[in-house]
Amino acid sequence: MEDGFRLGDRTFASRLLLGTGKFASIGAMLGAVRASGAELVTVALRRFNRERPDDDLCAPLAALGGVTLVPNTSGAMNAREAVRAALLGREVTGSPFVKLEIHPNPHHLLPDPIETYEAAGLLVKEGFFVLPYMPADPVLARRLEDIGCAAVMPLGSAIGSGQGLATLAMLQVIVRDAGVPVIVDAGLRSPSEAAAAMEMGCDAVLINSAIAAAENPALMAGAFAQAIVAGRQARRAGLMPRSDTAVPTSPAAALTAFLAGAGD
Amino acid sequence: MNLVVNGAPYLHGGQGTIAELLAEWRLAPPMTAVMINGEVIRRSQWEPVRLSEGDRVELIVAAAGG
Amino acid sequence: MPPLPEWLDVAPWLALARRADRAMVRQALAAPSPGIREFAILLSSAAAGELEALAARAQALTRRHFGRTIGLYAPLYLSNYCPTRCVYCGFASDRKIQRHKLTPAELAAEAAALKQLGLEEVLLLTGDRLGTAGYEFLRDGVERLAAQFHSVSAEAFAMSESEYAGLAAAGCTAVTLYQETYDPARYALLHTSGPKADYSGRLDAPARALGGGMRSAGLGVLLGLSEPLTDVLRLFAHAAWLRRRFWAGGVAIAFPRVRPQSGDYAAGFPVGESLLAQIVFAFRIAMPETPLVLSTRESPRFRDGMAGVGISKMSVASRTTVGGYASGAAPSSAQFEIEDHRGVEEFGAMLRAKGLQPVFKNWDAVYRAAHA
């Protein structure tokens, strides 16, 4: 596969990860997954409800073929709960991946760096490919990489906020220094933002709200998929820098005059 | 035996194996996770488990979200 | 020899350096996140034709990341005993020179003399690893000086990670180790015997230093030993690789150039001042936050021109004899000849006249356990 997306011990063709929340119906969600070409799909966990057995998600997703489920620990308030959620998620999906998501504040849903770091260490030891959702902090990103996370997932902006790549400057540093894939997660509103994330060097993007809340989720999912491919291709093609005018040279007292008539 | 399953009292009619409990709930073993008294039980370790009176069981499946 | 690391393969960048045109140079100068690609373009002959523009960008970036300051340090040779034949070096084992190793009393005198000059950062040097002037001797020197100076670093033989950890515990904050040349064939010709003949062991040493807890690793090639563009591209790749692998560690780059010394080694690939300046500018532009170091091997005129224009750190009032700062020091031969003999006062005055402030220490060492 050319330019495959390596994550954990697998290689994927698609660099669009899809969240399954906030859709109007399971049917709408499945339509979006299909249209997006996503191969990594995040799911949450719930108690089985005997009264509503047909709300099953796993079977229809498995039926699509080519989809790897990634349970997420959303709802966990601390490392201990997140570890328990991850263990449950592994049993439910059979997947070695886990999206580690710990956001104690229900308003802004921003990730807790300390609980996340602690949980990541425990889950790596349990053999998971840990994908930690984290603040866009370059030092935290390297710390999580050092303890064995399979990727880092810095936020673009708060979940559902649609603020786009508000953390761009930090993302640039994270991307530059990362030895594991960087998957931007949260806050992207439009396909052009997803393309921008790929152009600046991110390895993949996770989208949920922007697709689920669209008028036509399947159509939006397709748009995101194309944008991510375009952004990645632009990156590989070697983008031209923004301006082609160099910094103006210094006035009369030339900086390099001391080299004139130099001996050796 | 009397159990608490998914937060509510439940009268289990079998020998207390996980397989029986899931069958009673019409749950397929794949894609289901089981927690007993707060501990996640790995699928490979379901077979020897025998539930006891008063055990708190959680039956977990995937949900849309995240 | 074990397989060479992937990052040593710079063939595509060398090709780019050879064919870049002026338009590419202008784009490289404006690139917001320059990397090895821009670095290669800035090494081209097209870039040589735009040297003033490179200098201006280098100066702007030096100011942004280092302010209008120049870090100053002095080298202190602890010993010039050496078992190794480096063809180009004044200390080579087969040269009949005056050898000496500092006694503790002499070391104390040297330290006092350096302190008198106002210096706070010292780089300790030895020859290649030898029984009498080996690891223990070096670590002892580090420990003694770390109690008095705010920063002690070492430029010595390649060591194991645990040896580097021991040096760090003794108070050494940085290690400098030039690969001399990244070309394995040229390396073998130039280092014919002794511990330093191990190319791979040396190549891996900066990683071991950072892994052992050194805050920073100083890298460099001895310009003149091999084809310079290839060596300099590999040096860049090495620095970039180390920075990725050791996110909490720093790298610094120095630019030693083959200079006249006691012996008759003439550079096979001489590098002139203009190319040296261009290399420095390219590093500054493509790795803007990296300290770039220039020693007293270079002439006063060249050093004056480069201070603050890419270069952020310089040695001063240097001696490359063993000791030699204190009067009455035992005679010994120098490793290489110095061209800039100016003392700290005179050099400081030059810097100030250029609007640069000489800086003698970065962080106060009192936070560190090793400092008395």
Cβ-Cβ contacts under 8 Å between A and B: the total is: 101
pLDDT of B57 higher than 50: yes
Q: Does A47 sit within 8 Å of B27, measured CB to CB?
A: no
- How many CB atoms sit inside 10 A of residue C227's CB? 14
The verdict on a CB contact (< 8 Å) between B62 and A26 is: no
Structure-block tokens of residue A257? 């005059």
- Contact of chains B and A by CB distance (3 or more pairs under 8 angstroms): yes
Query: Is position A99 annotated as part of the catalytic site?
Result: yes
For residue C30, give the chain A residue with the closest CA: A246
Beta strand B2-5 with B8-11: parallel, antiparallel or unpaired?
antiparallel
Using an 8 Å CB-CB cutoff, list chain B residues near A99. Answer: 66
A9 touches chain C (CB under 8 A): no
Look at strands C85-86 and B39-41 and give their pairing: unpaired
User: Is this prediction's pTM over 0.90?
Assistant: no
**What gap in Å lies between CA C134 and CA C82, rounded to an integer?**
10
One pLDDT digit (tens) per residue for chain A, 264 residues: 889 999 999 999 999 999 999 898 889 999 999 999 999 999 999 888 888 776 778 888 988 989 999 999 988 999 999 999 999 999 999 999 999 999 988 888 899 999 999 999 999 999 999 999 999 999 999 999 999 999 999 999 988 788 899 999 999 999 988 999 999 999 899 999 999 999 999 999 999 999 998 999 999 999 999 999 999 999 988 765 554 444 455 555 589 989 876 655
Domains for chain A: give ranges and CATH numbers: 5-259 (3.20.20.70)
Q: Which of A29, A46, A58 sits opposite B31 (nearest CB)?
A: A58
- Residue B29: CATH number of its domain: 3.10.20.30
The CA distance from B40 to A83, in Å, is 10
CA atoms within 13 Å, Cβ hemisphere of A137: 15
Separation between Cα atoms, residue A120 and residue A126, nearest integer Å:
10
| Residue ranges of domains in chain C | 51-367
Residue by residue, DSSP assigns A25-79 as -HHHHHHHHHHHT-SEEEEEEEE--TT-GGG--HHHHHHHSS-EEEEB-TT--SH
If DSSP codes are grouped into helix, strand and coil, which group holds residue C297?
coil
A44 with B63: Cβ contact below 8 A: yes
Residue A213 at interface with chain B, using a CB cutoff of 8 Å? no
Look at residue B10 and tell me if it is in a domain.
yes
Give the pLDDT confidence score for residue C95 in this predicted structure.
Answer: 85
Tell me, what's the pLDDT at C293?
Answer: 97
Which CATH fold would you assign to the domain C51-367? TIM Barrel (3.20.20)
pLDDT for position A253: 52
Q: Would you state the pLDDT for residue C372?
A: 42
Asked if chain C contacts chain B via 3 or more Cβ pairs within 8 Å, the reply is no
Beta-carbon separation of C57 and A241 below 8 A? no
HSE-up of residue A206 (Cα within 13 Å, Cβ side): 30
Which residue stretches of chain C have pLDDT < 50? Answer: 370-372
Angle at C182 between CA C178 and CA C183, to 5 degrees: 140
Interface chains of chain A (3 or more CB pairs under 8 Å): B, C
Predicted local confidence at residue C332, as pLDDT: 81
Mark yes or no for CB contact A88/B40 under 8 Å: yes
B66 within a domain of the structure (yes/no): no
